[in-house]
Structure 1
Amino acid sequence: MKNILLSTFFLLVALSTFAQPSQTVRGKIVDKESKFPLVGVTALLVNNATQPVGTVTDMDGNFRLPNIPVGRQTLRFTLVGYKEILLNNIVVEAGRETVLNLEMEESVTELNTVVVKVKRNGEAANEMATVSARQFSVEETGRYAGSRGEPARMASNFAGVQGADDSRNDIVIRGNSPSGVLWRLEGINIPNPNHFAISGTSGGPVGIINNKYLANSDFFTGAFPAEFGNTTSGVFDLKLRNGNDEKHQLSAQFGFLGTEFLAEGPLSKKSKASYLVTGRYANLWLFKKAGIDIGTEATPTYADGFARFNFPLKKGGNVAIWGVGGASTIDILISEQEASDRNIFGQNDRDQYFSTNMAVGGITLNKPLNKSTFFKATVAVSANSQDANHDFLFLRKNAQGDPLIENKRFVIDSLRPLLDYKFTENKYSLATYLNKKWGAKSTLKVGLTADLYSFTAFDQARSFNEATQKWNAWVTRWNTNNASYVLLQPYVQFKHYLTENFSFNAGLSSLYSSINTNSYSLIEPRVGFALELPHRQKLTFATGLHSQGLPSYLYFYDQSGANASTRFPVKNVGFSKSWHFVAGYSKMLADNLRLLVEAYYQNLFDIPVEKTISSYSLVNSGAGFSRLFPNQLQNGGIGRNYGVEMTLEKFFSKGYYFLVTASLFDAQYQGSDKIWRNTDFNGKYAFNALFSKEFTFNKRKSLNIGAKFTATGGRWYGPVDATQSRLAQEIIYADATRNSLQFNPYKRFDLKTEYKINKNRLTHTIAVDIVNVLGNKNQLSLSYIPQAPYFKQEYQLGFLPVFFYRIDF
């Protein structure tokens, strides 16, 4: 008996060891426009034709496919009268259920003449999107080499988009300023979602948004639909996923960017209420001790988190309570560093103490009113702040007047307070819309976005006069307490299919701000057309007028204190505006190979420039860690961006994928001096090539090897005015020759490997993302130094290994 029990035990162990792990794939399918649950949709696993696995959705639109083998799977969803959905890159892991929430689009023609149309991965979810739009998945944010799991860095691989800055994840779209990028979360316009964010920017060194709680989201690069306002460049339209409503799941991860934990599961299995909670804390200090170069000798610290609680309602509706936020701090102490130490995140003549906070939380209601009408509303509160103090370093000098260096350090005579500021912006938001469809041909969407801003700021600074060897008096540049204004954006959109293959959409948007009497754009038309041709070809065209206000802090900048005639130089400046024109052509060259070509022209006008004759324009702002201190501005500048883009994409199949994007463009502007110049971001070209191959072992282990090559033109700058730079203690470029010089082209090669082990209800993942494998020395910027010639060349990050280990169970 004992031998039988032992034999049985070892047999079970052997079976559990060699049996292929499996997991459940389930989800919900709704109508794309009305969000009403679809009954009777066939869900079919198509990888194994000899033993097909399938099911149909129930009365609530839910489907379930149990015991699906781990690995990459292809799923097909069909329903009579609707366009077929083909998902050919669904990752099934043993440690986590795969939950899909899908939307099906109704077919236009009568039942007996329906031609099968396939919606594939990558097509934008927004029904009004015509051109320059792409859906990206959570899996994509982690797949691309060099993306570090961040949506912004991942998007830099798309056509027309430049990253080319290892220190920040700013997004330059078609030569536009990165400050023109709009971030939306659940329909709400949110503050800059990055750690160490500076007012007026949309990027930063590390993102707060974590791909682990995102659902499939859309990214727009031009001529976007009417619902998107207060942006002239591009849009990240982020969606949040719900936690698992049937079983509790945990995830823990340790890596270069932090230690993370995630928990999700049902609050009530009866009501299907669920929770999802995450948290991350930085551990860069550990890697600094290991000698990894992160661009500064200072050690950044940051933490962020997210929570979402979802409560389903009857007939497909739900109420979700959610929140995301992060805090960060860094002390860059030049007084304690060696003279040769790098500080691409700070200045070289002062000690700097800097911290930021960002948080947004809201309540979202999704409610199908009937089979043709859907209502959504989100109310939210957000806040962001920056707090900084600078102490100026008085250096001892040698007989030649240069700073004295002993034991590799500057010799410090004393430190004196130089700068003190704190900005805080609170915002109360409402985003709501009603979607109505008439049959399969027509859809109307009417909505409103409203934001109430409350801004508090204090800033004072002083400078040292080297000629008199005395300090100048403290100057207060911001002193605002709870200043408030309203930003309103109503819109209406309509889409109609003239035939099964030809559709158009038209919309009107409006933007109004109470900040001053000049900040309004009453009518912004948006129009788009799409024509599907034989042999899986498609032609598209879209145009629209877009406008954007200034960052809040600029309106309250007090330039000259007591001089009332020149106070608040930006107070009455109106919106920047831009006309977008985009034409596109796409063709499916094979079942999983797509070619996309787009040409565009942007006419920028009413750009803020100086009233005095100069080369200054706000089109060059929005990148880096510096605030703006403008002179008197007016809406008199213009600009033009035009170019052509190509995308060749092989969707993941047969164990591999690739993506090749190329852009040729030109971005120029005029300041008040009426001279055409290159914008700072006019790189002229951008090229990306990505490839990934997956190897599977024993049906439970997989190795993914990916590579990426990036090449872009360098950013523009000009000769430095050494005298003015010394007096201002920062880089000042000669105005007449602004942007007459260009940094060398940027080139980078990245390599990523990911090894995954699936066991029963458990998944181990080990990944190493090596950024800049070849250690190319790319130029970044010029920075001020307190000695002749008063500037030095700063370089991008070099070889940077980013790795993590994660366990899901």
Structure 2
Amino acid sequence: MKNISCLALLLALLFGAAHAQPTQTIRGLVLDKEAKYPLVGVTVQLLTSAGQPQGDATDAEGTFRLSNVVVGRQTVKLTLVGYKEVLLNNILVDAGKETILNLEMEEAVTNLETVTVRARRNGEAANEMATASARQFSVEETGRFAGSRGEPARMASNFAGVQGADDSRNDIVIRGNSPSGLLWRVEGISIPNPNHFAEAGSSGGPVSIINNKYLANSDFFTGAFPAEFGNTVSGVFDLKLRNGNNEKHETAAQFGFLGTELIAEGPFSKTGKASYLITGRYANLWLFKKLGIDIGTQATPSYADGFMRMNFPLKNKNGSSAGSVAVWALGGTSTINILASTQEAADRNIFGQNDRDQHYSSNMKIGGITYSRSVNKSLFLKSTVAVSNNVQDSRHEFLFLQKDETGAPTIVNKRYAIDSIRPLLDFRFSETKYSLSTTLNKKWGATRSLRAGINLDLIRFNAHDSVRIFNESDALWTPWRERWDADGATFAVIQPFVQYKEYLSENLALTVGLTSLVNTINSYSKSWIEPRAGLAWDLPKRQKISLATGLHSQSLPTYLYFYHPDLKGQPALPYPVREVGLRKSVHLVAGYSRLLRENMRFLAEVYYQYLYKVPVTVRPSSFSILNAGAGAERVFPEQLENTGFGKNYGLEMTLEKFFSNNYYFLLTASLFDARYQGSDKVWRNTDVNGKYAFNALFSREFVVKKGRTLNLGAKYTTTGGRWYGPVDAAASRREQSVIFEEATLNSRQFVPYNRFDIKTEYKVNKNRLTHTFAVDFVNILGIQNQLSVSYSPEPPYYRQEYQLGFLPIFFYRIDF
């Protein structure tokens, strides 16, 4: 702490005083919200405290420019006859980077009277088909919230109905659903798990590959989502990518605990409008080890990730716009070697097991081409083709320990005495996906619009996994057993959809939609008709009531279709495909919101989710796929059938004060219950049924001098603990993994999770240059939260693992 304080002081002295207030440019593009065509003649005003607004009007291409804008937070207002007014508060302007706004305006339903809608950065989803359980999040929010580390998933864990409660991973639980139910989309394409050290079937990881510096404002859905989102029963991250600056070259560099980053963007030429944006990051986690900071393992993880986007506007022969083509790619690779053979017996190892050396690597990459065009003032087309691949590769070696006369492991110099090390497990999963997403938006005046399209994935899967178990009773190994042997298995996932929206009156909007989900992997994975519907009613006194419902379905994680349990000790047959169908879910949501003041909103939602046709084992047991994907481990179920059930219901409340007068706060509370029924017909708590979650966030910005700001933020989180059961010690010793007693699974609960974070950020703006120094003090009180029960080679053959504890994360960034 002392070293960090001294460094902050030194940087402040080095920056020196600014002699003049630095300025920068705000510019951007204004489009019609439904048809996406440029709006001409929009009045764009910068509302200054002096009372004399600075303004511009959009040109034939819908662009505007406000020059020499003083750095800091600004307010921009957009007006156009026949469209609803847009008012954006607290646009952040920095000296080192132009502020580029891509905005949309909604056509007024009636022109008989003045219609004014003040659309601040209040989190309402950009997707006009969403009526409930949807929120837009900005790039600034992913960096503003304490403890978020600039990641979309950790940021979203602050919203009502969402919980994380794991310091070591960014998996999120949405309304009691397992994290495996989360869908990640980029430019309309379903993408693999976008996290380093990702495990098959999961949606999270310790560090995100996604970098907030290349995201545009995006949407997050927690239930009853529109028809264009399929193959999920939990939630959706619908991520949008921004283009690089097409007029000016800009560069940024960042150094911090989580990595060294370089970002470059700009135009390809001085006369054209084509642009590029490139980023790269390499891990600096060795710093944690150097400073003695506990990250849950003695191993040093290594990772790198990057992003590229090139945007090319197209023109017709007459000079009119013919749309644009964007070529983009992102990906990351990660490696860790967790060597229990070199660590001390008492060392923590929350990412691995304590009886083996583990070598693990993963990578994820995706590249695509997106074409978008406003065909005319009522029709918009967007189409993306992409290729993605993700790989998990692991090798385990079992440690034979020397033992004393009592049978207990021998410890020498605080380490287990090792007799020998022998191969135990070897697997490699690889999934390649060829994807197409095409969407058409059609509008009829201001009252009716239609969105239709198709999402298509062609998937090729390779999986090889061999394992053996040491039989301690006769000191012999079982033969190598192939659990996966799938080579080139190919199948398709097809999802057509149509969604219609109509304003029944000026204040009442109805949306209805249909979608289908067809997975050709087997004959059971088809859902031909899934209806969706929503109703939004604007009431007097700035109130709103919303209702939404829908039928949703989801396939199993791909790797589970090809798992072959070897119950008789014989080698597995070549990739047998499991004949198990989709899990299904009905969502019902009712919401109420009210703008209490100009910058404060209250929102409440109640929901009920009924899950049926859930995959469970044929043999009566407590297993359910609803508990899969809640951590970093694969599951190995026996033969499955669609006879399980689940139900989630709850109440969510949000009180949010939007950023104004230099401060912001967010209070969220969730009360819920999530239960499931396995094939043993017993209703149990799901693993993640915490019962409640509460978040309180606060941020205050201080203007120290001209061009200098200090931002202080804090966050407090508390949630109910996760569920587990008594450990079967004999079975755990036999399987060399924690095995819970079947009948009493999820009858015990970890103590509640509590965490307090503080974030400080000091920013200095000079002429065309911005310095930012920030420190995120995660779990500053060092609260010891329970994480899991792990296997141990010593009696009683299991031990309690705890969260990371206090974790300071700093970075320094320069934009120029």
> TM-score range with shorter-chain normalisation?
over 0.9
Structure 2 residue 742 is the aligned partner of structure 1 residue 735? yes
* Residue identity opposite 1:733 in structure 2: F
Name 1:118's counterpart in structure 2.
118
Shift of 1:189: 0.1
In 2, the alpha carbon distance for the partners of 1:748 and 1:16 equals 37
Whether the aligned pair in 2 keeps the contact of 1:753 and 1:768 (CA below 8 Å) is: yes
Q: Which moved more, 1:15-24 or 1:489-498?
A: 15-24
CA distance in 2, matches of 1:422, 1:113: 64
Q: Deviations over 1:591-644 (max 9, x none)?
A: 000000000000000100011111110101112121111111100000100000
Name 2:579's counterpart in structure 1.
572
Note if 1:712 corresponds to 2:713.
no
Q: How many angstroms apart in 2 are the aligned matches of 1:783 and 1:316?
A: 58
Bigger shift: residues 610-619 or 207-216: 610-619
Alignment partner of 1:68: what SS? strand
Query: 2 CA distance for matches of 1:432 and 1:139?
Result: 29
Question: 1:698, 1:638 → 2: CA distance?
Answer: 60
The AA in structure 2 aligned to 1:392 is F
Structure 1 match to 2:13: none
Matches within 5 A, 1:237-256: 237-256=238-257
Q: Do the aligned partners of 1:545 and 1:579 also contact (CA within 8 Å) in 2?
A: yes
Which deviations, in whole Å up to 9, do the C-alpha atoms of 1:494-533 show, x marking residues without a partner? 0000111000100000000110000000000000000000
**Equivalences, count:** 795
Aligned match of 2:330: 324
Q: What do the CA deviations read for 1:199-223 (whole angstroms, capped 9, x no partner)?
A: 0000000000000000000000000
- Corresponding residue for 1:12? none
1:2-41 aligned at under 5 Å gives the runs: 17-41=18-42
| Paired position in structure 2 for 1:391 | 397
Cα distance in 2 for residues equivalent to 1:566 and 1:601: 42
Q: What pairs with 1:487-502 in structure 2 (closer than 5 Å)? A: 487-502=493-508
Query: Structure 2 counterpart of 1:471, which letter?
Result: W
Task: Evaluate the alpha carbon distance shift between residue 435 and residue 246 of structure 1 in structure 2; reply closer, same or farther with a 3 A threshold.
Answer: same
User: How far, CA to CA, are the matches of 2:427 and 2:572 in structure 1?
Assistant: 25
Residue 445 of structure 1 deviates from its aligned partner by: 0.7
1:508 aligned residue (491, 509, 514): 514
Structure 2 match to 1:751 = 758
Report % sequence identity: 67
Whether contact under 8 Å (2:485, 2:575) holds in the other structure is: no
Residue 657 of structure 1 aligns with which residue?
664
Structure 2 CA distance for aligned equivalents of residues 57 and 527 of structure 1: 36
| CA 1:666–1:570: 2 relative to 1, 3 Å | farther
Does 2:628 correspond to 1:627? no
**TM-score normalized with structure 2 length:** 0.96
Cα distance in structure 1, aligned partners of 2:588 and 2:79: 35
Q: Provide the rounded CA distance (Å) in 1 between the counterparts of 2:266 and 2:99.
A: 13
1:274-289 to structure 2, matched below 5 A, reads: 274-289=275-290
Q: Which amino acid aligns with 1:120?
A: R
Superposed counterparts of 1:311-710, under 5 Å: 311-314=312-315, 315=321, 317-560=323-566, 571-710=578-717
Shift of 1:399: 1.7
Q: How far, CA to CA, are the matches of 2:609 and 2:51 in structure 1?
A: 53
> Aligned-pair distance for 1:568?
7.2
- Matching residue of 2:199: 198
**Counterpart amino acid of residue 117 in structure 1:** V
Q: Structure 1 CA distance, aligned partners of 2:573 and 2:167?
A: 39
Once the 2 structures are TM-superposed, how far is the Cα of residue 566 of structure 1 from its aligned partner? 10
CA distance in 1, matches of 2:201, 2:460: 16
The 8 Å contact of residues 486 and 574 in structure 2, kept in 1 or not, is answered as: no
Q: Which amino acid aligns with 1:654?
A: N
Q: Which amino acid aligns with 1:365?
A: Y
Asked whether the equivalents of residues 399 and 421 of structure 2 are also in contact (C-alpha less than 8 Å), the reply is yes
Distance in 1, matches of 2:267 and 2:525, equals 47
Aligned with 1:808 (options 780, 802, 815): 815
Name the CA distance, whole Å, in 1 between partners of 2:270 and 2:683: 64
| Contact 2:484 2:575 (8 Å CA) reproduced | no
Q: CA deviation at 1:50?
A: 2.1
| 1:178 Cα offset (Å) | 0.3
Query: Match of 2:811, as an amino acid?
Result: F
Give secondary structure in 2 for the equivalent of 1:227: coil
Q: Residue 698 of structure 1: CA displacement?
A: 2.0
Question: Which position in structure 2 is the counterpart of 1:5?
Answer: none
Distance 2:625 2:584 in 1: 12
- Conservation of the 8 A alpha-carbon contact between 1:559 and 1:567: no
- Deviation track 1:136-165 (CA, whole Å, cap 9, x = no partner) reads 000000000000000000000000000000
2:95 aligned with 1:89, yes or no? no
Is the 2:482–2:572 Cα contact (8 Å) retained in structure 1?
A: no
Give distance in 1, aligned partners of 2:679 and 2:783. Answer: 38
TM-score, structure 1 as length reference: 0.97
> Structure 1, residues 449-492: CA drift from partner, whole Å, max 9, x if none?
00000001111000100011111100011111110000000000
> CA separation in 1, counterparts of 2:624 and 2:706?
58
Partner of 1:6: none
Shift of 1:125: 0.4
Are the structure 2 counterparts of residues 716 and 561 from structure 1 closer, same or farther at C-alpha, using a change threshold of 3 Å?
closer
Where do residues 172-211 of structure 1 align in structure 2 (5 Å cutoff)? 172-211=173-212
Q: Compared with structure 1, are the counterparts of its residues 68 and 801 closer, same or farther at alpha carbon in structure 2 (3 Å cutoff)? A: same
AA aligned opposite 1:148: R
SS state at 1:539 partner: strand
CA apart distance, 1:113: 1.2
* CA distance in 1: counterparts of 2:264 and 2:49, whole angstroms: 33
- Partner Cα separation in structure 2 for residue 387 and residue 747 of structure 1: 34
Q: Secondary structure at the match of 1:175?
A: coil
**Contact 1:476 / 1:561 at 8 angstroms: preserved in 2?**
no
Instruction: Give 1:45 deviation, angstroms.
Output: 1.2
Query: What CA distance in whole angstroms lies between the structure 2 residues aligned with 1:115 and 1:108?
Result: 9
Q: 1:16 to 1:791 in 2, by over 3 A?
A: closer
Structure 1 alignment gaps of length 5 or more: 1-14
> Which ranges of structure 2 fall in alignment gaps of 5 or more residues?
1-15, 316-320
Which one is further off, 572-581 or 82-91?
Answer: 82-91
In structure 2, give the amino acid aligned to 1:601: Y
How far off is 1:805 after superposition? 0.1
Query: What amino acid is the match of 2:21?
Result: Q
Q: 1:763 to 1:127 in 2, by over 3 A?
A: same
Distance 1:592 1:543 in 2: 30
Question: Equivalents in 1 of 2:579, 2:17: separation in Å?
Answer: 71
Q: Does residue 155 of the first structure (1) align with residue 142 of the second (2)?
A: no
Given that 2:522 and 2:577 are in contact with CA atoms closer than 8 Å, whether structure 1 keeps it comes out as no
SS in 1 for 2:626: helix
Distance 2:73 2:408 in 1: 63
Change (3 A) 1:566 1:453: closer
**CA RMSD, Structure 1 to Structure 2 (Å):** 1.5
Work out the CA distance in 2 between the residues paired with 1:595 and 1:185. Answer: 30
Classify 1:268/1:32 alpha carbon distance in 2 versus 1 (closer, same or farther; 3 Å): same
Task: Within 5 Å, give how 1:32-71 maps onto structure 2.
Answer: 32-71=33-72
User: Following the alignment from structure 2 to structure 1, what is the Cα–Cα distance between the partners of residues 380 and 766?
Assistant: 42
Q: Is the 8 A contact 1:41 1:57 kept in 2?
A: yes
Match of 2:218 in 1: 217
Letter in 1 for 2:600: L
Deviates further, 662-671 or 266-275? 266-275
User: Compared with structure 1, are the counterparts of its residues 40 and 16 closer, same or farther at alpha carbon in structure 2 (3 Å cutoff)?
Assistant: farther
1:102 aligned partner, one-letter code: L
Compared with structure 1, are the counterparts of its residues 268 and 16 closer, same or farther at alpha carbon in structure 2 (3 Å cutoff)? farther
Q: Distance in 2 between matches of 1:568 and 1:270?
A: 56
Secondary structure at the counterpart of residue 743 of structure 2: helix
